[in-house]
A and B are shown apart, each in its own frame.
Chain A
Amino acid sequence: MLRFILRRSGLALLVALTVSFISFSLLFLSGDPAIAIAGESANAQDVAAIRELYGFDRPMLVQYGDWLWSALQLDFGDSYYFRLPVADLIADRLSVTMTLGVCGILFALLTAVPLGVIAAIRPNSIIDRIALFLSVAGQAMPSFWFGLILIVVFAIKFRILPASGADSWRHFILPTIVLGYYAMPAIMRLTRAGMLEVLSADYIRTARAKGASEGRVLFKHALRNAIIPVVSLAAVQMGFMLGGSIVVESVFALHGAGYLAWESIGRNDLPTVQALILVFALFYIVFTFLSDVLNAWLDPRMRSS
């Protein structure tokens, strides 16, 4: 188990390093970053001064090493736009995104797991059909459009929920539904498939044969086994969702890290964008790492692969 964790964290580190290099290279995609910072009215001298000030005249790999070394100490440089340390900006906004992510995954689990279980107990029933419809529709639903519809219905038509902002828990209800619905179909399908498989297993027949109540069979024996892959999928989905919250945050004007990313892209604020790509990637890397370790802990066969 320890060997598995060591090997798996080595992989996670390598992936993180590669992603950090890619997000750093984005700066050079635009050609000369000094010209971008100097703005349109700058002359050649200004550009040269900025180039020297920011160190753009050094070889790219040296700059990357420098940037990475600072990043390891949580120093991502200053935002071109706010003239403030990027790390502080992100730390400020991250709590909103984290709240949204946690609420979203909870919403997804609380709707998807019961639906998946009922759908598996009663295949082809009306609930199974509704669950199937919800999951097929969820995969085709453009999240920005779904968000706007919820705003039209709940904020404009019935005026029961706020359309934008993050001042109270009521502001998080609609974004949570949109973000959660995005993760729901996969979780529901996996719950349903897992329950169907487990329910036909021998030990379920044994449990029924020895006279265990149906509720006990379902929850104590079946669900406990079917839920394992669901938990690790939820961890991976959580990593995806944080990265995907950029769309939801911009629809609901929730000023989280995703919104910051969107604003910074519009303002050509590359240090902030670089840092955010790395932060979101790290979230995904950490969550998949946790999910793999959880899997390996629960199922020794996973440790060798």
Chain B
Amino acid sequence: MTAIPDAFEIVGPTPAQQLRKRMFGHQGFLIGAVILVVLVAIALLAPVLAPHDPYAQSLGDRMLRPVFMGGTWDHPLGTDHLGRDYLSRLIYGARVSLLIGAVAAVISGVIGTALGVAAGYFGGRVDTVVTFLINVRLAMPVVLVALAVVAILGGSLSVVIGVLGLLLWDRFAVVMRASTLQIRGREFVAAARAVGCSTPRILLSEIMPNIVNNLIVVVTLEMAHAILLEAALSFLGVGVQPPTPSWGLMVSEGKNMMLFEPWLVLIPGAVLFVLVLAINLMGDGLRDVTAPENRN
């Protein structure tokens, strides 16, 4: 008589292990993730890393050039028009960008996910209303509305975060609605309903775990979007206000001296570009590795 095992043994790697393997095999994701981790570490360790106080003006040392353009190591990336250390302002600027991007993405994520899941799960009239709201939101010119509202309420970190959070929920709603529509007809949802699970429970423990991958992808892409928008608002003078070190504001302040000192504009813009690129690469990579159709 052959022995029958009491439990099936799991053969091969678990889904989590497979996902990890796909993530570490995806070049774009790896590059983006490494850059992002480094930038987050820089933002967190800003007080330790910054060589100078980012707000300390020194009118005798205005617009010193970076070290690679004949400057000294005392100010590795030079100083701005008020003699503030450029490297220190860049390092503290990472905090502003990441904070605004992350919080705005979370706010819009909560709004958009709630609307999208409700529309996808309940359908009918709820779906009609949510689809209409998405249409209205898409028709509003984001930059213009954000500029107007921030100008009326006054530019500050929390106002900018709030306005972006309230404006950028559309993609969350669209993606979450479509994902929920795909899941809601599946057997395990019907089974949960049949055994008498409450609606909130079905939404939280049956629907959400199955769409969270898509949610994470949209979070990264919208975070990049919010960071770019904050920089544009601050560049236009209607975002984060001086003397806060925001990269968009630094570009705007350097613009007047662009003719003679183009590096004042090039450096903060390049850092902004790299941060957004890293987040986008990570988001695209996550989409590739979590989408079932891309699995071999």
Q: A residues near B, CB below 8 A?
A: 11, 14-16, 18-19, 22-23, 26, 29-30, 136-137, 139-145, 148-149, 151-152, 156, 242-244, 246-247, 250, 258, 261-262, 265-266, 268, 273, 276-277, 280-281, 284-285, 288
Q: Are A149 and B269 in contact (CB under 8 A)?
A: yes
Q: Are A246 and B235 in contact (CB under 8 A)?
A: no
Q: Are B147 and A265 in contact (CB under 8 A)?
A: yes
Chain B residues closer than 8 Å to A30, beta-carbon distance: 152-153
Q: B residues near A, CB below 8 A?
A: 132, 135-136, 138-145, 147-149, 151-153, 224, 228, 231-232, 235-238, 248, 251, 255, 258-259, 262, 265-266, 269, 272-273, 276-277, 280-281, 284
Instruction: Pull 12 A–B residue pairs with CB atoms less than 8 Å apart, ordered by A.
Output: A139-B280, A140-B224, A140-B277, A142-B228, A144-B248, A156-B262, A246-B144, A246-B236, A262-B147, A265-B147, A273-B144, A284-B139
Main secondary structure of the interface of A (DSSP, over half): helix
Q: Are B232 and A143 in contact (CB under 8 A)?
A: yes
Q: Are B281 and A15 in contact (CB under 8 A)?
A: no
Q: Are B259 and A277 in contact (CB under 8 A)?
A: no
> Out of A26, A139, A152, A244, which one reaches B148, CB within 8 Å?
A26
CA distance A262 to B138 in the complex (A): 20
Q: Are A243 and B143 in contact (CB under 8 A)?
A: yes
Chain B residues closer than 8 Å to A273, beta-carbon distance: 144, 148
CA distance A232 to B130 in the complex (A): 23
> Out of B132, B138, B142, B238, which one reaches A265, CB within 8 Å?
B238
Chain B residues closer than 8 Å to A14, beta-carbon distance: 132
* CB nearest to B131 among chain A residues: A11
Main secondary structure of the interface of B (DSSP, over half): helix
CA distance A11 to B145 in the complex (A): 22
The total of interchain contacts (Cβ-Cβ below 8 angstroms) comes to 128
Q: Are B132 and A145 in contact (CB under 8 A)?
A: no
Q: Are B135 and A137 in contact (CB under 8 A)?
A: no
* CB nearest to A267 among chain B residues: B151
CA distance A268 to B140 in the complex (A): 20
> Out of B139, B144, B255, B284, which one reaches A285, CB within 8 Å?
B139
CA distance A144 to B238 in the complex (A): 14
Chain B residues closer than 8 Å to A29, beta-carbon distance: 149, 152-153
